[in-house]
């Protein structure tokens, strides 16, 4: 059974960075791309990008280049997304989602940017 | 980027009724090589993460009730829910994976009377 574990929440200060984690289990981590999606409160879904865990090849939505950096740790089957230079516009829920046939979603991490 | 447009933005129905919602893409999602439409539908219940319902425009994911039916091809797609249940209260999103960046529709919010 595919499981993607994400921390529930992160509180960060404006201008800082945060590194979000997504620990995968129930499947072979290196066999499926991992995607990241942003959802602002009460808003729709935005695709940030994807990473191939087998070789760390990445594709980014142009909108998030320079904002998001995707990495993986194969030894722990964990995907990461670092968000930099945070502003209030970055306050959102961030989901990781396993690719393959469609998207299998994690529970999401609520990032709140506040002083 | 491929623009995904959903309509209506919201609808209210009584339990047991049939619901139809639309999703249109700004370019065809039909791959000539395998004849698959790269269109998925996701359901997001209040306070929950999204859940995939349908892939390839019309293939239900394992465990999804058969009252959920996806149809369409090319640029026009439909999600039909036969005999809506109270538990179907949610926002429904279509999403294309034909080309990067993957994009989502704005969602259709389904409310139950």
CB atoms within 10 A of CB B89: 14
Q: Shortest Cα distance from B84 to chain A (angstroms)?
A: 23
Span A59-69, average pLDDT? 97
Q: Shortest Cα distance from A35 to chain B (angstroms)?
A: 10
Rg (CA), chain A: 13
3 state SS of B58:
coil
The two tokens of residue A106 are: 């994690």
Tens of pLDDT, residues B69-86 = 999 999 999 999 999 999
Residue A25, pLDDT score: 97
Tens of pLDDT, residues B35-64 = 999 999 999 999 999 999 999 999 999 999
Structural contact between residues B67 and B86, judged by C-beta atoms closer than 8 angstroms: no
Burial label, B91 (beta-carbon count in 10 A; 0-12, 13-18, 19+): buried
Residue A100, pLDDT score: 87
CB atoms within 10 A of CB B46: 7
The two tokens of residue B13 are: 């129905």
Tens of pLDDT, residues B2-27 = 999 999 999 999 999 999 999 999 99
Span A95-111, average pLDDT? 94
Span A85-111, average pLDDT? 96
Touching check for A108 and chain B: CB below 8 Å?
A: yes
**B107: nearest Cα among A48, A43, A104:** A43
Chain A residues within an 8 Å CB radius of B47: none
d(CA B43, CA B90): 6
Cβ distance of A59 and B105 shorter than 8 Å: no
Confidence of residue A101 (pLDDT cuts 50, 70, 90): confident
Chain B residues within an 8 Å CB radius of A102: 40, 52, 55, 61, 97
Touching check for A102 and chain B: CB below 8 Å?
A: yes
d(CA A26, CA B103): 27
> Average per-residue pLDDT in chain A?
97
Cβ distance of B101 and A62 shorter than 8 Å: yes
Cβ distance of A103 and B106 shorter than 8 Å: no
Burial A39-57 (b: 16+ CB within 10 A, else e): beeeebbbbbbbbbbeeee
Q: Shortest Cα distance from A56 to chain B (angstroms)?
A: 17
DSSP code, position B48? S
């Amino acid at each position: 059974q595919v499981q993607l574990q994400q921390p529930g929440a992160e509180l960060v200060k404006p201008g800082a960075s945060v590194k979000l984690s997504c620990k995968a289990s129930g499947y072979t981590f290196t066999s499926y791309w991992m995607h990241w999606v942003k959802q602002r409160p009460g808003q729709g879904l935005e695709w940030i990008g994807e990473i191939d865990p087998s070789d760390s090849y990445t594709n980014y939505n142009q909108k998030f280049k320079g904002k998001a950096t995707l990495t993986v740790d194969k030894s722990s089957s964990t995907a990461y997304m670092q968000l930099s230079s945070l502003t209030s516009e970055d306050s959102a829920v961030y989901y990781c989602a396993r690719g393959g046939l469609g998207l299998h979603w994690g529970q999401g991490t609520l990032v709140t940017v506040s002083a | 980027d491929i623009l995904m447009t959903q309509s209506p933005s919201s609808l209210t129905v009584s339990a047991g009724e049939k619901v139809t919602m639309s999703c249109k893409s700004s370019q065809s999602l039909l791959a000539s090589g395998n004849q698959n439409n790269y269109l998925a539908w996701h359901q997001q219940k209040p306070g929950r993460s999204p859940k995939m319902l349908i892939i390839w425009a019309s293939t239900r994911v394992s465990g999804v009730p058969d009252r959920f039916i996806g149809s369409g091809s090319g640029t026009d797609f439909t999600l039909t829910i036969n005999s809506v249940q109270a538990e179907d209260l949610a926002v429904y999103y279509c999403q294309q994976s034909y080309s990067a960046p993957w994009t989502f529709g704005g969602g259709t919010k389904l409310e139950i009377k």
